[in-house]
Amino acid sequence: MLKAVIFDLDNTLLDFSGFKRESALAAARAMIRAGVKESEKELYARIFKIYDERGIEYQRTFGDVLYGISLDQHTLEHARQAAIVAYQKRKYDLLKPRTAALQTLISLKSKYKLAIVSDAPRDKAWQRLVLTNLDQFFYPVVTFNDTGEHKPSQKPFEKALKLLKIKADEALYVGDNPERDIVGAKKAGMTTCLAKYGCIGYMPELNVADYSIDRIDDLKGITEIIDGG
């Protein structure tokens, strides 16, 4: 019997990739307004090059973007802080739950325990949950800080199961990444559901999930199938 639904956070419950793209663009434009002579396209590319090299959660991105560009100290600090502020403002404007996520969670919460297993740092995961008013739905919220291991390690999933006090076969894990979310949850023994709407460059041959959904509100039908309803 299904007792808990455990979610990935970024790109599953939130359009994380969309907000990153738009916030990075806002930061690039702010640097130019502050006096940086590089093109918007070049600065945007530099931002994502650093994300690729350092990780999407890297916290010194804009300083690294400006490193090596010939700037006086005044312009350098102006551009760095302008980029940070523009990024944060755009983030607050854009970061919202997926369409129908709130209604889906309300429905699921009436029957199941709900939890999060995310690769995000603890502070960032909680900031996103509070900002999107999703913080009320989940216990536990397991982040990278809780195990020191990223998915597809099974340790974050096992940590959530231990805190929920349930067995692996009593949990459904929902995530957007076939190689990290689905493989990791399967290694821990969970039933899995791929959130195809959040996949970047979805390739059917990589999908080893037990179920797949095209919209988050399709999840109710999956839980009914699992429960034999």
CA neighbor of 205 nearest in space, from 175, 182, 184, 223? 182
What does the mean pLDDT of the chain come to?
95
Cα dist from 59 to 64, 84, 223, whole Å: 10, 10, 38
pLDDT, one tens digit per residue, over 119-150 is 999 999 999 999 999 999 999 999 999 999 99
Whether the per-residue pLDDT at 183 is higher than 80: the answer is yes
* Confidence label for 206 from pLDDT (cuts 50, 70 and 90): confident
pLDDT, one tens digit per residue, over 60-69 is 999 999 998 9
CA neighbor of 174 nearest in space, from 11, 53, 24? 11
CATH code linked to domain 17-94: 1.10.150
Q: What is the pLDDT of residue 201?
A: 78
Q: What is the pLDDT of residue 229?
A: 58
CATH level 2 (architecture), domain 4-15+96-226: 3-Layer(aba) Sandwich (3.40)
Q: What is the pLDDT of residue 205?
A: 77
* Confidence label for 228 from pLDDT (cuts 50, 70 and 90): confident
Domain ranges of the chain: 4-15+96-226, 17-94
In this structure, which long-range contacts are made by residues 139-143, counting pairs with CB atoms below 8 Å and at least 24 apart in sequence?
A: 139/113, 139/114, 139/115, 139/163, 140/115, 140/116, 140/164, 141/115, 141/116, 142/115, 142/116, 142/117, 142/118, 143/116, 143/118, 143/119
Q: What is the pLDDT of residue 39?
A: 96
